[in-house]
Amino acid sequence: MGVKFIRPNEAAIQSIAADMRQADIDEVWASNHHTPLEALNVGWETSKSAVIVAVNDEPCVMIGLVKRDILSDIGTPWLLGTNNALKYKRHFIKQVPDVISEMLTVCSKLCNYVHVNNTISINWLKRIGFTIDSAEPYGYEKELFHRFHLDRENYNV
């Protein structure tokens, strides 16, 4: 099974948007009132780095890192995936330490929010070392989200 990191392009982004996981669709709507395609395009445009993970040439996940501002050393990591990405999750897990380590070379602290109902993402974030805070209202809809964060000095590959 071939896992490749590819540069974002319109065809791959549209493919991910068309098959985005419902939990990710609900999350981007509740947080920013974005459709799947809008969320991917905004993420691509605002990220310091963004990449698409393809398995067997099928775009499954788009990952990015938005640097909050030039004065802080905080980055906002994000990941949006397809329904098919779940069947390849073991392959993604192997790649995660390198991706997180790369993000932590750009920003010493990573922080974002995950919708309280996005249990697959919450469990995955815990597994890869993020701290998950108590749920609080967040975003346009003021639905419950967990803040998740990770510091460079606390990350053990």
Q: How many CB atoms lie within 10 A of CB 131?
A: 14
Percentage of the chain beyond pLDDT 70 is 97
- Contact 60/82 with Cβ under 8 angstroms? yes
How far apart CA 122 and CA 116 sit, in angstroms, is: 8
Give the pLDDT confidence score for residue 91 in this predicted structure. Answer: 72
- pTM for this structure? 0.92
Arithmetic mean of pLDDT, 33-61:
94
| Chain-centroid distance, C-alpha 69 | 19
- Residue corresponding to tokens 């775009």: 59
Give the pLDDT confidence score for residue 157 in this predicted structure. Answer: 62
Each domain of the chain, given as residue ranges in start order, spans 3-154
- Could you report the per-residue pLDDT of 86-145, keeping only the tens digit for each? 888 777 777 778 889 999 999 999 999 999 999 999 998 998 899 999 999 999 999 999
Arithmetic mean of pLDDT, 10-33:
97
Tell the CATH topology of 3-154. Aminopeptidase (3.40.630)
How far apart CA 140 and CA 126 sit, in angstroms, is: 25
Q: For residues 137 and 55, which has the higher predicted lDDT (pLDDT)?
A: 137
